[in-house]
Amino acid sequence: MRSNLLVAPLLLMSLALACGDDGRPDDSASGFTTVPVGTGTGGVMTTTSVTEATAGTSLGTTAGGQTGAMTTEPDSASAGMTDPTESDEVVCGDGEVEGAEECDDGNDDDGDACLSDCVEARCGDGVTWVGEEECDDGNTSNNDDCLNACESAVCGDGLINEGVEECDDGNPNEGDGCLNDCAAASCGDGIVWEGVEGCDDGNDVDDDACSNSCASASCGDGVINGNDECDDGNADNTDACLDSCLNASCGDGFVQAGVEQCDGGGESIDCNSDCTPAMCGDSKLNLAAGELCDEGGETANCDADCSPVECGDGVVNMTAGEECDDGNNSNGDGCDANCVEEVAQACDAGVDPHHNTPWVVCTATPQEAWVSHSQPGGGQFHPIKICQSLGYNTVGQYGGTCGNICSYCGGGNSCSNPGSKFFSIGNWNGGNCGSDGEGPIACQTVMWTCVN
């Protein structure tokens, strides 16, 4: 009874499948062939399957209306077909490479050589092949974290990882425009950018050997650094800072405008060592200018011409006690060897410096001397020369003597007994007998006065 209850539904299902649209059995649609009731062996319906299933047990109904198991036999159309468990459908993941499959490793691991869709793993498929690929982002950009070769982007690979690297030149040279940490070279990074920077000390100190603009410190850059005393950035040597970056100073050879009057690079013939013009009497000894002393004027030790006091040097230094200085150390020429004036005395005598004609002093005072020829017949004399030898400057009057000594036309006179003091020609007019190398000449029997 229980078996009939189970078989009946199965049989009804089989019959339904065997009927066409009109409810009549359709052998072609049912997949079965039936044998009319009464024609089967022992009155049993035999069904033959024409489906892909093999012959087996089917449900059927006997001629007596009993439901039960029926034995089906394959008809000629279904003979030789495979079991439904041996279908031709390709199944990815069954471990067998079939159909269009590139691979089938029987697992769903996308990290191995065969993806879960039975396609071979390859770079660019968007799945990282473990052990073979470092990454796989499935795109063609070389500027992200994963390169087109499925390698992780790293600094030094020559490809710029956007948002991470500023540059990447793929070399280890720190001196080009890209540092080894893939940061763009810049002034202040401590690395000299060849051809662009002169230096780079990595600090913000502007007055050391490398400026903040990465230029090597040099004189004239306007920044005081290194050995610079100053740096005004110009080549003007007349201001306070020389183009050698040294402070302007007296003796540097450059005249500082508004400060120095001269600068000879030290004491020179024109400039004192304190950069004032050389001048005798300025109390600044300048040997280069020929000064042997300079005490600000005439002193007991220094003449007014900045030479030491010395009797016989031709410079009268009254502060030093000199009354005269005729440039020699002879006596009897109006100025003695001690530079004391020699006052002419009556009866002092001498001869003309050129003609050797004798003369004699008739009378003398510090202001005037009366001089006469001292032998009858007179001769030629150089009165100015003779007066200067007696300590006087020039000639006052002159004239004839009528052949007399120390008298005008009076007999018996001499230097110890002068006669008439009369000069027939009068005031000195340059002589009456020409002149020569010693000066104007007075001739014939003459006498004259010497005055200051």
Domain span including residue 419: 349-451
- CB atoms under 10 Å from CB of 266, counted, come to 14
Residue with tokens 């001397």: 369
Split at pLDDT 50, 70, 90, the class of 69 is very low
In tens, the pLDDT along 51-68 reads 333 333 333 433 344 434
Region 155-159: mean pLDDT is 93
> Is 267 part of a structural domain of the chain?
yes
Q: Give yes or no: residues 297 and 358 share one domain.
A: no
What would the DSSP string read from start to end of 182-247? SPBP-TTSSS--TTT-S---SS--TTSSB-TTS-B--TTSS---TT-S---SS--TTSSB-TTS-B
Task: Give how far the C-alpha of residue 267 lies from the chain's centroid of Cα atoms, to the nearest Å.
Answer: 35
Reduce the DSSP state of residue 368 to 3 states and report it.
Answer: strand
| Residue that terminates a domain, selected from 71, 86, 116 | 71
> Is 132 part of a structural domain of the chain?
no
> Is 181 part of a structural domain of the chain?
no
Q: Report which residue type is found at 449.
A: T
Mean pLDDT comparison of 211-215, 336-340, 417-421, highest-scoring range: 417-421
> Is 44 part of a structural domain of the chain?
yes
Region 157-186: mean pLDDT is 92
> Is 289 part of a structural domain of the chain?
yes
| Residue that terminates a domain, selected from 308, 323, 339 | 308
Q: Is pLDDT at 32 greater than 50 in this prediction?
A: no
Q: Give yes or no: residues 363 and 283 share one domain.
A: no
**Structural domain total, the chain:** 3
> Is 418 part of a structural domain of the chain?
yes
- The continuous run of DSSP H or E covering 29 comes out as helix 27-30
Q: Give yes or no: residues 300 and 360 share one domain.
A: no
Q: Give yes or no: residues 354 and 294 share one domain.
A: no
CA distances from 332 to 315, 318, 337, 396, 443 (A): 19, 20, 9, 21, 24
Region 94-106: mean pLDDT is 93
Q: Is pLDDT at 165 greater than 90 in this prediction?
A: yes
What is the model's pLDDT at position 43? 35
Q: Give yes or no: residues 357 and 442 share one domain.
A: yes
Q: Give yes or no: residues 358 and 427 share one domain.
A: yes
Q: Give yes or no: residues 445 and 356 share one domain.
A: yes
Q: Give yes or no: residues 360 and 292 share one domain.
A: no
> Is 120 part of a structural domain of the chain?
no
Q: Give yes or no: residues 290 and 380 share one domain.
A: no
What is the model's pLDDT at position 366? 85
> Is 203 part of a structural domain of the chain?
no
What is the model's pLDDT at position 87? 58
| Residue that terminates a domain, selected from 71, 103, 130 | 71
Q: Is pLDDT at 283 greater than 50 in this prediction?
A: yes
Q: Is pLDDT at 12 greater than 90 in this prediction?
A: no
Q: Is pLDDT at 279 greater than 70 in this prediction?
A: yes
Split at pLDDT 50, 70, 90, the class of 83 is low
CA-to-CA distance for 251 and 248, rounded, in angstroms? Answer: 9
Q: Give yes or no: residues 296 and 355 share one domain.
A: no
Q: Give yes or no: residues 291 and 366 share one domain.
A: no
